[in-house]
């Protein structure tokens, strides 16, 4: 694990500014720590040896303490502001990039994982900026300054610290290395536990159905106990690295103190120097120990930023830049040998698919589920790039065209339409932002949803509308565009026979080219012809 991701600095200007400010504050803090030690030593030695008055030293010391508190405050303010700016930058970049990567890339688990990342996940950067990074900067600046100052007074003590200090990271790395397998096992045991609990909680209704739910309280207890003892034995090893850190730091301070004491007895050292060395010695180790203590903050923050960069560094598919897309009102559309394979799947989702779409045709795509009907639509929309084969319009391959211009030829009704919070009219207007109320009403009637008021509110994720209503709003949204080709994915699923008949009539009335995934007989009957997807025999293997 890298303590500081250079990509974070590259992507977010605020992170660079923050790091610079932290270095300045870190150097200032180091100087104040030294000043505090010097003043304390002078004060104590002055009183003990000469009975000197303390007033001026006390005032100076007070000033140093106030200055340290101010720097501390400044550090946190800077950190908060930086975290806010960096999070905002990353949020925007991640959202834009994932939308550009498209809905197929976003499908399934990924979309909910990304939502988590964009909302709560990025907040893990707060402690990373507020606690971990400043400590990292202090660990890089303070010990060096402290050791240098100690060397001016007592070379042996400075040497002790200078030798033991680098031992700490070395030991931590070695021990961390040796216990890696164990801490992995421990993490696995813990995640197994959390997962078991999640699975039980999600499955409680099912367990209750079979009269097994009441046994779960005991089952959770039993599983937890079993895994706890496994993870404790790993913890014994995993904690060794922090043990090494604590032990080395405190033993070294003890060594310095005893050594200085003995040299004092021999008269080779003054009291003031000795006290200064004693006060400074723990300060040399403190930043490093703090870094270790804030390890959690760092691990979470690094994990969050790695998640971000995994998204941002996913390359966008290559796209063309031609804008002279032929008008599909008059131009035929062909798919030749189109084969699509989704990442992580062995079987192609669509295998060697051919289709010839003449302008004005209404085509029903049929076939059992999972055969790639929706994938045909996704290919036409450019959501997924075929592994083999090509989509051709007017003698040019579709991927030569600029995607947004190409998509203007199509209006799409997905299987599960994504409606946005607002009103029914807002959602229909996604198809044509400048549409008049009358046009919206007309589109709704065409979609068999004439009964829906334009101002009817639509909740988050289409809530407040029934499944059938959502689909009809999505259909109206497609009808209101002037796209020559409609791509419909089971547009009448969830509708009763009357509503379905209205929708079918609306589709035929427009005179547009329609390519629709259809299961239901009424819809299939309304098509000019039916294309069965996935039945082509593979002759040439």
Of 58 and 388, CB closest to other proteins: 58
Q: Which residues contact 528 (CB under 8 A, 6 or more apart)?
A: 361, 362, 363
Three-class HEC string of 347-389: CCCEEEEEEEECCCCEEEEECCCCCCHHHHHHHHCCCCCCCEE
Query: What is the DSSP secondary structure assignment for residue 318, as one 8-state letter?
Result: P
Residues 383-412 that bind other proteins (CB under 8 A): 383, 404, 407-408, 410-412
Least Å distance, CB 48 to other proteins, is 3
Residue 536, both tokens: 């082509």
Residues 360-379 that bind other proteins (CB under 8 A): 368-370
What letters, b where the CB count within 10 A reaches 16 and e where it falls short, cover 325-357?
A: beebeebebbbbebbbbbeeeeebbbbbbebeb
Q: Which residues contact 469 (CB under 8 A, 6 or more apart)?
A: 449, 452
Least Å distance, CB 2 to other proteins, is 23
Sign of the C-alpha dihedral, residues 440, 444, 445, 451? Answer: negative
Of 336 and 493, CB closest to other proteins: 493
DSSP output for 158-188: HHHHHHHHHHHHHHHHHHHHHTHHHHHHHHH
Contact flag: residue 318 with other proteins (CB under 8 A): no
Residues 423-462 that bind other proteins (CB under 8 A): 430-431, 433, 460-461
Question: Which residue in 346, 438, 496, 537 binds other proteins (CB under 8 A)?
Answer: 496
Of 1 and 232, CB closest to other proteins: 232
- DSSP three-state, residue 414: coil
- DSSP three-state, residue 485: strand
Q: Strands 388-393 and 396-397: what pairing?
A: antiparallel
Residue 36, both tokens: 């505090």
Using the rule CB under 8 A, give the single segment among 136-144, 158-166, 239-247, 314-322 that binds other proteins: 239-247
Using the rule CB under 8 A, give the single segment among 3-11, 83-91, 158-166, 525-533 that binds other proteins: 83-91
Of 191 and 436, CB closest to other proteins: 191
Binding mask 242-281 for other proteins (x = CB under 8 A): xx--xxxxxxxxxx-xx-xxx-xx-x---x--xx--xx--
Give the integer Cα–Cα distance in Å for 537 and 535. Answer: 6
Contact flag: residue 286 with other proteins (CB under 8 A): yes
Question: Which residue in 48, 173, 316, 509 binds other proteins (CB under 8 A)?
Answer: 48
Of 210 and 539, CB closest to other proteins: 210
Least Å distance, CB 199 to other proteins, is 5
Query: What is the DSSP secondary structure assignment for residue 322, as one 8-state letter?
Result: B
Residues 106-125 that bind other proteins (CB under 8 A): 106, 111, 114-115, 118-119
Question: Which residue in 282, 320, 359, 450 binds other proteins (CB under 8 A)?
Answer: 282
Of 35 and 336, CB closest to other proteins: 35
Of 112 and 436, CB closest to other proteins: 112
Question: Which residue in 466, 510, 511, 530 binds other proteins (CB under 8 A)?
Answer: 466
Residues 326-345 that bind other proteins (CB under 8 A): none
Alpha-carbon separation of residue 456 from 425, 473, 503 (angstroms): 8, 11, 20
- DSSP three-state, residue 492: coil
Least Å distance, CB 444 to other proteins, is 17
Question: Which residue in 20, 66, 148, 174 binds other proteins (CB under 8 A)?
Answer: 66
Least Å distance, CB 535 to other proteins, is 13
Of 305 and 427, CB closest to other proteins: 427
Count of residues that interact with other proteins, criterion CB under 8 A: 145
Least Å distance, CB 119 to other proteins, is 4
Residue count of the chain, please give it: 541
DSSP output for 236-289: HHHTHHHHHHHHHHHHHHHHHHHHHHHHHHTTSS-HHHHHHHHHHHHHHHHHHH
Of 197 and 336, CB closest to other proteins: 197
Residues 156-195 that bind other proteins (CB under 8 A): 194-195
Of 6 and 460, CB closest to other proteins: 460
Using the rule CB under 8 A, give the single segment among 102-110, 345-353, 356-364, 393-401 that binds other proteins: 102-110
Residues 216-235 that bind other proteins (CB under 8 A): 216-218, 220-221, 224-225, 228, 231-232, 235
Least Å distance, CB 333 to other proteins, is 16
Give the integer Cα–Cα distance in Å for 11 and 97. Answer: 13
- DSSP three-state, residue 390: strand
**Strand order of the sheet with strand 333-340?**
350-357, 333-340, 388-393, 396-397
Least Å distance, CB 351 to other proteins, is 17
Give the integer Cα–Cα distance in Å for 276 and 266. Answer: 18
Of 225 and 354, CB closest to other proteins: 225
Using the rule CB under 8 A, give the single segment among 136-144, 209-217, 353-361, 529-537 that binds other proteins: 209-217
Contact flag: residue 316 with other proteins (CB under 8 A): no
φ/ψ of 84, rounded to 5, equals -60, -45
Contact 405, 325 (CB under 8 A): yes
DSSP output for 35-56: HHHHHHHHHHHIIIII----HH
Residues 518-537 that bind other proteins (CB under 8 A): 519-520
């Amino acid at each position: 694990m890298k303590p500081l991701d250079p990509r974070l600095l590259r992507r977010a200007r605020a992170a660079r500014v923050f790091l610079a400010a932290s270095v300045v504050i870190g150097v200032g803090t180091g100087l104040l720590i030294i000043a505090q030690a010097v003043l304390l030593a002078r004060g104590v030695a002055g009183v003990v040896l000469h009975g000197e008055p303390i007033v001026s030293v006390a005032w100076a010391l007070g000033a140093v303490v106030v200055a340290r508190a101010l720097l501390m405050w400044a550090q946190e303010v800077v950190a908060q502001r930086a975290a806010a700016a960096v999070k905002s930058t990353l949020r925007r970049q991640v959202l834009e990039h994932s939308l550009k990567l498209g809905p197929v890339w976003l499908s399934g688990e990924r979309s909910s994982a990304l939502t988590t990342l964009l909302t709560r996940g990025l907040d893990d950067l707060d402690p990373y900026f507020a606690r971990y990074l400043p400590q990292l900067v202090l660990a890089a600046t303070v010990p060096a300054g402290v050791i240098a100052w100690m060397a001016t007074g007592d070379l042996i003590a400075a040497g002790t610290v200078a030798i033991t200090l680098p031992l700490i990271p070395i030991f931590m790395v070695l021990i961390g290395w040796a216990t890696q397998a164990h801490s992995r096992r421990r993490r696995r045991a813990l995640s197994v536990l959390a997962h078991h609990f999640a699975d039980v909680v999600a499955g409680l209704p099912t367990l209750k159905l079979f009269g097994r739910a009441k046994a779960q309280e005991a089952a959770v207890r039993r599983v937890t106990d079993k895994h706890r003892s496994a993870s404790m034995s790993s913890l014994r090893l995993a904690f060794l690295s922090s043990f090494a850190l604590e032990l080395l730091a405190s033993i070294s301070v003890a060594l310095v103190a005893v050594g200085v004491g003995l040299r004092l007895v021999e008269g080779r050292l003054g009291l003031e120097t000795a006290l200064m060395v004693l006060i400074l010695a723990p300060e040399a180790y403190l930043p490093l120990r703090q870094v270790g203590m804030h390890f959690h903050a760092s691990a979470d923050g690094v994990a969050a930023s790695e998640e971000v960069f995994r998204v941002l560094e996913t390359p966008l598919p290559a796209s063309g830049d031609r804008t002279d897309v032929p008008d599909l009102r008059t131009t035929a559309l062909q798919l030749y040998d189109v084969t699509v394979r989704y990442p992580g799947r062995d079987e192609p989702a669509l295998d060697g698919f051919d289709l010839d779409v003449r302008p004005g045709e209404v085509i029903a795509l049929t076939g059992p589920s999972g055969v790639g009907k929706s994938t045909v639509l996704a290919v036409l929309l450019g959501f997924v790039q075929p592994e083999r084969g090509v989509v051709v319009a007017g003698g040019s391959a579709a991927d030569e065209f600029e995607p947004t211009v190409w998509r203007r030829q199509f209006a799409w009704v997905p299987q599960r339409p994504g409606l946005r919070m607002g009103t029914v009219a807002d959602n229909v207007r996604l198809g044509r932002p400048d549409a008049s109320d009358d046009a919206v009403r007309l589109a709704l009637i065409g979609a068999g949803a004439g009964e829906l008021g334009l101002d009817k509110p639509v909740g988050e994720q289409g809530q407040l509308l029934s499944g059938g209503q959502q689909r009809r709003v999505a259909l109206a949204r497609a009808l209101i565009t002037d796209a020559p080709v409609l791509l419909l994915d089971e547009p009448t699923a969830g509708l009763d026979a009357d509503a379905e008949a209205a929708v079918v009539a609306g589709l035929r009335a427009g005179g547009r080219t329609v390519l629709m995934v259809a299961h239901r007989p009424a819809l299939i009957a309304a098509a000019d012809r039916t294309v069965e997807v996935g039945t082509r025999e593979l002759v040439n293997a």
